[in-house]
Amino acid sequence: MHNRNMCDYYASASRKIDADPADLFEILADPRNHSKIDGSNTVAAPLAGAPTRLYLGAKFGMDMHRRVNYRIHNRVTEFVPGRIIAWKPLSGHTWRYTFTPFDGGTLVTEEWDARGVWNRWLMKLAGVGKANQRAIEESLVRLERLATG
């Protein structure tokens, strides 16, 4: 794990994974895998009607749990197969995965970016940035386990 970067409104980490970028991308493009990867243990399952493969503009909801059960609705905002996938929930922050090939594998970077959202002060108050930093680091470990078996 390297390239840690965290503040109250932004968190990211990168990890070298011995897998093809296209294979890693496909894991993230299927929302049914998100609960397997989620290092925060808050993502439960996709809501009925979610596509089995995301695409630019796709809308998908997730059942979530953090102290209480809730639902979150997302829209895919970036989608470059094998390279970048990102989505935003209604609150406007971004979850982004970037896949950069290197000899023998892929450098995967995950980012949570709430720097431009109207309610970022609430996120700061709740300590979401620090929690997301820990979750991102764990998510990348889980992605590697899922990809490499």
At 121, which CATH number?
3.30.530.20
pTM for the model: 0.92
Q: What is the DSSP letter of 41?
A: S
**Residues forming beta bridges with residue 68, ordered by sequence position:** 66
10-17: strand order across its sheet: 2-7, 10-17, 105-113, 94-102, 84-89, 68-80, 59-66, 43-46
The model's confidence at residue 12, banded by pLDDT at 50, 70 and 90, is very high
Share of the chain above pLDDT 70, in %: 96
Displacement of CA 28 from its chain's centroid (Å): 8
Which pLDDT belongs to residue 130?
Answer: 86
The model's confidence at residue 126, banded by pLDDT at 50, 70 and 90, is confident
Which position has the higher pLDDT, 149 or 96?
96
First to last CA, the chain: 19
The number of distinct structural domains making up the chain is 1
Q: What is the mean pLDDT of residues 64-76?
A: 92
Give the domain range for residue 32.
2-148
Which position has the higher pLDDT, 125 or 116?
116
